[in-house]
Chains A and B, each alone.
Chain A
Amino acid sequence: MKKFFERLAEKKILVSDGAWGTELFKLGLRAGECPELWNEQNSTEVFAIAKKYIDAGSDIISTNSFGGSPVKLSHYNLQSKAYELNKTAAEISREAAGDKLVMGSIGPTGKFLMTGDISAEELIDSFTLQVNALLDGGVDAILLETFYDIDEAECAVKAVRNFPDVPLICSFTYDRNSSGEYRTMMGSTPKDILQAMITLGVDVVGVNCGGGYNNMIDLVKELRGFSHNIPILVQPNAGLPETVEGKIVYSETPDVIANSVKSFLSIGVNIIGGCCGTTPEHIRTIRKIVDDFLLNQ
């Protein structure tokens, strides 16, 4: 597990992967289908996505397991397959990554603790099973991504901490309100989140999804202003999705994001990639900008 920290220290800035969900849809996943079931039934396609990101220059890629918690899989009545689907997700990315790093993706359950939908114990059990399977499949780190509720994230962090020495990245998603402030869906500010995550001992704090690269620059600046030391991961959407003649289009193409990527690097981020709508081409662009940036340091 030391490999993640060694690589981060050695390379200074790691390039991660881009979107998985929108890439799976391009390959034929349909709305309402369980993406994690593809690890078993369409593993060639899942492998192809992982491999394309590695070929585009990713130093670290994630796994097709965002909705792989037993709680989430129960929507498809697949909770009993949770261990296998997550372990396979990790194995597929591991094989594609070669000597590059793999981070096991875990998303929120969609249930609220505060309304009594689910208990903290149930959440911890569900996340623990998923973490265990991803580690058995060979991941180098765990990526909790697109979280919005500090309490649920705390349960996920506790689940990860059941296993010794696992590098842990925890990434939240924010909206920007009309007065320009960033808040999670639960109303938490970037500072609230950062304080909670530092207190919980998370290794890397992240921001992902949201309104796109340009939209996130001030957010990352704000986070970096609160802590000069904590490693930061940034994985924005390729802008907000729009429909053009019945098709989904993301406005931030690889050319469009170039300047925003440079801004992120000068603010001081440590892992940079993309979320919904980003492609291997986005990662190729980011790779080049990161290499140029590090050369001129």
Chain B
Amino acid sequence: MNFSFDENYLLSQLALCIERGKLNSSSKFPADMISQPGVEELLPELLSRNISPKIILDNGLLIGMNRVGEKFRDGKIFIPDVLISAKAMNAAMEILRPYIVKGDLKLKGKVILATVKGDLHNIGKNLVRMVLEGGGWEVIDLGIDVSSDKILDALKTNDIKAVGLSALLTTTMLNMKDIVRDIKNNFPEIPVAVGGAPLNQRFADEINADLYSPDPQGMLDYLNNNFSLN
């Protein structure tokens, strides 16, 4: 597809606004982009030029989010930077939501995320959610302190590609074992990914999880590699 220089420029600016977390022209962050247009100006501008939501997602938003995921994985940026990018990305997806509802814009598939039973920490899970959504996946976020039953219910009522489980505490990560077992007993074909500060590959192997990743990008890569895009 051919775009004019203007439109390519706007798409690259949009990617930059996602990467840096630039919401709109009046937002004060980041300081070096003050008074420049943000996601909430650039995205409607692209739509008004008849650029399709799919092109905007693939050639703008996802490029920005990929950079965020990779920089976070490589330790070049930190949680605050990711959270601010997440805000900009959420704003972009809100603008695109009508197209998703109508079916004009299709996401890659649905994934369940949950912090396991007994654990009230949501930061790690939210980072994963942000990176997956930024990678074009639809996330069903079951929240914190989530039991097997709740996950099985969600698996029954949705077309789910994978489940991601999070735990911050050594005590609660032990609860992952039962949850993985319950999912495998009922939905043997559904891959289960696990993550969180106290986890490691050996523990993931012990509890029969399909994937351990120390960073959100690892789960995104796994999903993208294992499920063909629609």
Contact = CB atoms under 8 A, between A and B. Distances in A.
A243 interface: yes
Contact of A114 (B75, B84, B123, B172): B84
B171 A186 contact: no
Interface of A: 22, 25, 30-32, 75, 110, 112, 114-115, 177-179, 183, 185-187, 240-243, 246, 248, 276
Interface residues on B, range: 20 to 34
A246 B175 CA distance: 10
Interface of B: 75, 77-81, 83-84, 87, 117-121, 123, 145, 169-175, 177, 198, 200, 202-203, 206
Contacts of B87: 115
7 contacts: A32-B120, A32-B145, A110-B121, A183-B78, A187-B80, A240-B198, A276-B170
A32 B206 contact: no
A25 B169 CA distance: 12
A32 B198 contact: no
B172 A32 contact: yes
A220 to B, nearest CB: 22
B106 to A, nearest CB: 29
A32 B119 contact: yes
Nearest to B174: A246
A31 B78 contact: no
A287 B46 CA distance: 67
A114 B170 contact: no
Nearest to B116: A31
A32 B118 contact: yes
Nearest to B206: A243
A80 B79 CA distance: 31
Contacts of B169: 31
Contact of B170 (A30, A115, A185, A241): A241
A178 B170 contact: no
A187 to B, nearest CB: 3
A208 to B, nearest CB: 15
A177 B72 CA distance: 12
Contact of A25 (B79, B171, B177): B171
Contact of A248 (B80, B81, B84, B171): B171
A187 B120 contact: no
A178 B75 contact: yes
Contacts of A25: 171
B60 to A, nearest CB: 23
A252 B87 CA distance: 41
B75 A177 contact: yes
B136 to A, nearest CB: 23
A115 B78 contact: no
Contacts of B145: 32
Contacts of A186: 78-80
Nearest to B145: A32
Contact of B174 (A183, A185, A243): A243
A32 to B, nearest CB: 3
Contacts of B172: 31-32
Contacts of A240: 198
Given A31-B119, A115-B87, A243 B171 contact: no
A177 B206 CA distance: 26
